[in-house]
Amino acid sequence: MKKVLVIKQVLHEGPGIIGMELLRLGIDMVTVEVYNGEVIPETLDGYAALIVLGGPMGVYEEEVFPFITEELRLIRHALKESVPVLGVCLGSQLLARAAGAKVYRGTVTEIGFYSVAVTEDGRIDPLTRGLTGDLSVFQWHGDTFDLPEAAALLASSKTYPQQMFRVGRAGYGIQFHLEVTVEMVIDWVERGREEIGAAGLDAEAILSVAAGRLPGIHKNGVVVIRRFLGLLS
């Protein structure tokens, strides 16, 4: 059975529909809960891919969260060995940093439902081809990053140009969330009401449209996730 290593940064940010697709395909998901002090392995021997999930910490907070240093090391190992990597939200920022790009605070906090545009490179990439026009996505981030050198930009927005990219053969970073379920959105909003209010956003407005928006997001999310899992050797 193929195994995928999943790094989970905080209790409430799980794999969502990524986990559902792994189960459907019969791929074993081995989760490292870094917030519980679980140790990140030295290598990816025995694993077909690495998936790095989101969290509220910043890539630049290595002194506060020492596990970030270990995650960067493992991602660099994956890129060197051409092991497929999928980074979601914080995971995408970690991938960008591991590939040599700068990660920093953005000018706006994005929380809720937004649109991103598929780029010209995105129209031909194995993960995003056929997903033309604007995609509805769920966002929760205040940090952003520069595009790594030689990376392909696959999706973009006016506020934050770096929304999805590929580095190397199979290193994919997704700033937004395609994996969230309705239950996850409700939980995140309830936990983050203070942050939402501080950003000048309306928690109730986000919740009111979640059930209607997520089916379309999942439709595209399943396409991207299945295509990524198709890269596993």
Alpha-carbon distances of 37 from 8, 40, 200, 213, 223, rounded to whole Å: 11, 9, 34, 35, 33
Q: Is the pLDDT of residue 144 over 80?
A: yes
Percent of the chain with pLDDT over 90: 97
At residue 52, what is the residue type?
V
d(CA 155, CA 118): 4
pLDDT on residue 186: 98
Q: Is the pLDDT of residue 233 over 80?
A: no
Average pLDDT of 178-194?
Answer: 97
Catalytic (active-site) positions: 89, 177, 179
Tens-digit pLDDT profile for residues 27-36: 999 999 999 9
CB–CB of 167/145 below 8 Å? Answer: no
Tens-digit pLDDT profile for residues 107-118: 999 999 999 999
- pTM of the entire predicted model: 0.97
pLDDT on residue 1: 85
List the domains of the chain with CATH numbers. 3-229 (3.40.50.880)
